[in-house]
Structure 1
Amino acid sequence: MKLRRTFAATAAAALGATILAACGGGGGGTDTNSSGDTESAKGGTLTVLQHFPFESTDPQRIYYGVELSWFRRLLYRGLVAFPMDDSNEVVPDLATDTGTSSEGGKVWSFTLKDGVKWEDGSDITCEDVQYGTSRVFANDLIIGGPNYTLSYLSSLDYPGPYKATAKQQAAFDKAVSCSSDNKTITFHFDKPWADFPLAAASLMMTDPYKKSFDQGDKSKFKVLSNGPYKVEGGTWSKNKGATLVRNDEYDPSTDEPDKLRLALPDTIDYQIDPSDTAGELFNDRLIANAPADQTAITTARVAPSQFPKITGSVEDRYQNPESPYNDYLVPNFNRLKDVNVRQALAAALPLNDYVKALGGDRSATASETIVNPALDFPDNPAFADDADNDGDPDAAKALLEKAGVQTPYPIKLGYSKSPTMDKAMAVIKEGWDKAGFDVTLAPLTDTYYDVISKPDDDYDVTWAGWGADWPSAMTVLPPLFDGRPNISSTTCGNDYGCYDSDAFNKLVDQAAEATDVDEQKSILEDADKQLGEDVAYIPLEITKFNWLYGSKVTGFTTTAASSSYPEIGLIGVQQ
């Protein structure tokens, strides 16, 4: 399953001038492989086995958790970053420091280090950072990535660099300005963004992008690296992957390798196989541990049917960390307009059986909200009242009768296909069919989020997964349900159900203006209650991860910064 970016941690000084993030879910910053010595692991080839395609390798369009955390270590450096441990203090990367703020957090400045270059040998400049930031505003073309900057620069009438008039471009260049020596970038936000360094470290929306390299949508899988590796041939193959080789223009003296990216393997053979059974086959190969797979890792979680095989020496190469992600269902507000129908779906959901189909407590825990418990957020009362989570078909039938709709009521349910998800969605279908619905399962086998975000898709309900982009519920509720920065003529963005509520948006604005953490949290709790009353989402579960790796892989661990995926910046292979 393709979960979005998250950062599992608790907020510390979330509205203060110094931004730190405390340790969070998933592993620890230590080597869990008995081989231990990462220095001896320098060189060789690491094989990555992935069972789904990325939607893009364009930094401003990246929003998959594993892609954000891994590409940050391998290909794309940002102004700041999180280190490869669980301290999670923002540290400088391309910038000389973690930023200087003024005007109560409304203005942030970063100065670039000397000597940082693109893979073509050209210097990375302030104008590259300015241009990369501008691309996010072209949300009819550069879609799929985070759009927080649109909210914090909402006063701009700016359509992005491709369609802007001279006047619009000048206004943007004033709001996101460069110094005369082209070394310092300054962001002038409409409102305080006190935790902006967290956002810049977590996401790629302010990453540099070279204007002369940009071909708009045609750049979707082109890669111009500034990290320790580059894509051989320059273009990523969506359904095959790429070979990553050393980037000769990367200078480790401009970096902090021990903190941010050890870059141990000489080559990374990144293999993608999007076939239905690839994930289970990858893990069967790692269980067998044949010579060719002893230096391999995978993004595929161990399937429940494979759990009995995790014994003996295989268990020594297995980790089961807590995940900072929540899964949920999204009703389509363009199609399911009656709240009683949406409430019926929530009432009839056989959540306990769904969790069992995922693999039980080794894989998931039932949830009563969309916000991960790492953020210390209360359950949503709209769903917590149904405490047994077995589903109530009689209550659902009564709600459908109240809606005055003809039954069985047709529902097309979209989800990202895998053998495990096929079984889990079949459980939902069975429960909903008993309650007066007629469910058609519609699995997607190619890219997923870019499909379900289309305003005219024909799904009544879709599955999704999400986690906080940094440790605040402000990075969960607004990016998923505030229609203003999300919805355009071509996309509903991360607001997959195209939900747009004035009442919810008003609460989001109040939370954004709050200067006290507790006040902001209280407002967001009210916003979540509004979502529950509208049934803007139906919570499913809190995800747990199950990872296997080959016996010659060193430094294997998960960290908060890696979103509980393997921390690829620490991983090497024995020769």
Structure 2
Amino acid sequence: MGLAACGGGSDGPTGPGSSSDGESQESAAGGTLNYLFFAPPEHVDPQRVYRGRDIGNFSRTVYRQLVTFPISTDPEVSNTPVPDLATDTGTSSEGGKVWSFTVKDGVKWEDGKAITCEDFKYGASRVFATDVITGGPNYLLSYLDIPTDEKTGLSAYDGPYKGDGQDLFDKAITCDGNTITYNFNKPWPDFPLAIAGLHMMDPYRQDKDGGDKSNFQIFSNGPYKLDGAWDKNAGATLVRNENYDPKTDDPENIRRALPDSIVFNIGQTTETIYDQLIADTADAQTAVTSDRIPPAYYNQIEGAVADRSVLVDSPFVDYVVPNFRKMSDPKVREALKVATNAQAWIDAGGGEKAFAPAESIVNPAVVGYQDNPAFSGPQEGDPAAAKELLEEAGVTMPYPITFTYPSSETADKQAAALKETWDAAGFDTTLDGLGDTYYDVVQKPTKDSDVIWGGWGADWPSAITVTPPLFDSRPNLTENSDGQDYGAYESDEFNALVDQAANATSLEDQTAALQQADIVLGQDVAYIPLEIQKFYFLHGSKVTGYTNTPAAAMNPDLGVIGVLD
């Protein structure tokens, strides 16, 4: 589901992130790797990609960054940026408000033209076109040293397509030969982590930009390029990029680029994928997937099949948000929270091999984690207490709500489990499961949803990449999009704490402000945590070097995986 990216038994994997047979097989170049998954990427445009699976896949294949994360299962190593298209990991000044990087010589686009400083500047400019480049990370809107428009409260620069405020942008990001300098309005000490964790700072060639029409186009600067077109519903094939020079890269620690081609096969149900992987026939022998093993298939993962399985902790937390445009009464939101049976959701989704309980939207692995006291009640919920709250609110009962979520066979069962106690509390729940598309629907301000599912992991190893991007209304809520703030939550108190954290001069002060911000979210019922995801995967018998890394959001890491011919 969604971002679907966060200890095996004695007959399972030998350790987190590796299969018991994969590492014993020698990885060599050649062959075709098949990557199978059900839910299609909604964006392949680098400035719009915002799904852990897709960020990792594209980082290792078609998109390079100034700095990136290396191949490693050790979180400390994997979360430490290394140079990629830049000569080093950057130089900061003015307390982290100014950062400079120098672009390497000899790095090229797939057509052989050099990647320039201006390409990086143009790529960053696209983030400000919030009416066109939607769905992606928007940190730059808050950090880049550009004033806000007094009338709209948004950035006075509106991107390269309209060009208003272009002079302001040109002062905030400057080029001097191969050196690009970013000027921020507050300290951004972990900016290299943001570059490595996302693609918002990636270079983009202006002559290749079709705006929204570029959403499913790939213009590569990595070891692979697109063969033909990307079909949103069927997938695509990547082949070797003849203008990629491994001498400008680190083929051992970043991109080994072992397969000759990678086929992204989209649209088969998770059950169909696992029927093939368990049988281990034909193309499934050289296949990996980011879809988790369905609970109904757990009893088939034994013997030789179990030797190809891996169970890893994910960086993701699943949650639901009330739509504040439609559920403005705090007592109604509190009733929804009290009636939520998170344990039933977990059980319907596969139990302890699929999920662990959550008491915050922040993953426990993130610096600054604390249990949110608003969610310390029983995981099973309390429909009777919730019904009393609805009665106190004086609303007509049953109170109709529509729950929107990404549909699958498992997710439908989980949604039904939530509906049972919500309805018992006095709600009348309509389940709105979406298939081919999801985020572009729930990000629309005009959506009909009352309750919306979400899944999130830290964009880089800091809590400042969790609650602020999800609930800071200022960069999120625009005329055309709710961004990541699916529930249209607005709070001056919360936003003030976000500003306090963003301007903090120490990690301790930043953490304290973010912890208080999470408490405010809990008091307002801005979200309701469901669980922490676990990843239970299977791969084909001819896959070599199978590894799940933090850099790939604990999905299969295409930087190291190969296949046997």
Q: Does 1:111 align with 2:106?
A: no
Match of 2:57 in 1: 70
- Name the TM-score, length of structure 1 as normaliser: 0.93
Query: Partners of 2:26 and 2:56 in 1: how far apart?
Result: 20
Amino acid across the alignment from 2:459: D
Partner-residue secondary structure (3-state), 1:450: helix
Q: Does 1:33 align with 2:21?
A: yes
Residues 158 and 520 of structure 1: CA distance in aligned 2, closer, same or farther (over 3 Å): same
Deviation at residue 135 of structure 1 after TM alignment: 0.2
Deviation sequence 1:460-502 (CA, Å, 0-9, x none):
0011100101111100010000000011000010001011111
- Describe how 1:382-461 pairs up with structure 2 within 5 A: 382-384=374-376, 386=377, 388-461=378-451
Match of 1:161 in 2: 160
Amino acid across the alignment from 2:552: S
Deviation sequence 1:38-89 (CA, Å, 0-9, x none):
44x2101111111011111100000010000110000000000000102122
Partner-residue secondary structure (3-state), 1:95: coil
Partner-residue secondary structure (3-state), 1:258: coil
Match of 2:33 in 1: 46
Query: Partners of 1:473 and 1:493 in 2: how far apart?
Result: 18
Deviation at residue 559 of structure 1 after TM alignment: 1.1
Q: Does 1:174 align with 2:168?
A: no
Query: Partners of 2:41 and 2:334 in 1: how far apart?
Result: 33
Q: In terms of mean alpha carbon deviation, does 476-485 or 150-159 score higher? A: 150-159
Match of 1:2 in 2: 2
Query: Partners of 2:234 and 2:471 in 1: how far apart?
Result: 33
Match of 2:11 in 1: none
Match of 1:546 in 2: 536
Deviation at residue 413 of structure 1 after TM alignment: 0.3
Query: Partners of 2:82 and 2:5 in 1: how far apart?
Result: 19
Match of 2:205 in 1: 210
Amino acid across the alignment from 1:335: K
Aligned residues of 1:63 and 1:146 also touching (Cα < 8 A)? yes
- Describe how 1:172-571 pairs up with structure 2 within 5 A: 172-179=169-176, 181=177, 183-233=178-228, 235-273=229-267, 278-375=269-366, 376-384=368-376, 386=377, 388-571=378-561
Residues 315 and 512 of structure 1: CA distance in aligned 2, closer, same or farther (over 3 Å): same
Deviation sequence 1:278-332 (CA, Å, 0-9, x none):
1111011100111331111112110000000000000000001001100000100
Deviation at residue 4 of structure 1 after TM alignment: 7.1
Match of 1:141 in 2: 132
Partner-residue secondary structure (3-state), 2:433: strand
Equivalent residues, number: 545
Deviation at residue 539 of structure 1 after TM alignment: 0.6
Q: Does 1:91 align with 2:96?
A: no
Any unmatched runs of 5+ in structure 1?
7-25
Aligned residues of 1:27 and 1:557 also touching (Cα < 8 A)? no
Partner-residue secondary structure (3-state), 1:374: coil
Deviation at residue 33 of structure 1 after TM alignment: 2.9
Partner-residue secondary structure (3-state), 1:197: helix
Aligned residues of 2:349 and 2:410 also touching (Cα < 8 A)? yes
Residues 536 and 365 of structure 1: CA distance in aligned 2, closer, same or farther (over 3 Å): same
Deviation sequence 1:141-194 (CA, Å, 0-9, x none):
1011101111102525100111113xx112201111100x2x111001111100
Query: Partners of 1:250 and 1:451 in 2: how far apart?
Result: 37
Aligned residues of 1:5 and 1:466 also touching (Cα < 8 A)? no
Deviation at residue 368 of structure 1 after TM alignment: 1.1
Amino acid across the alignment from 1:113: K
Match of 2:151 in 1: none
Aligned residues of 1:32 and 1:556 also touching (Cα < 8 A)? no
- Name the TM-score, length of structure 2 as normaliser: 0.95
Residues 310 and 29 of structure 1: CA distance in aligned 2, closer, same or farther (over 3 Å): closer
Amino acid across the alignment from 1:377: Y
What's the Cα RMSD here? 1.4
Report sequence identity in percent: 55
Query: Partners of 1:34 and 1:146 in 2: how far apart?
Result: 34
Aligned residues of 1:4 and 1:467 also touching (Cα < 8 A)? no
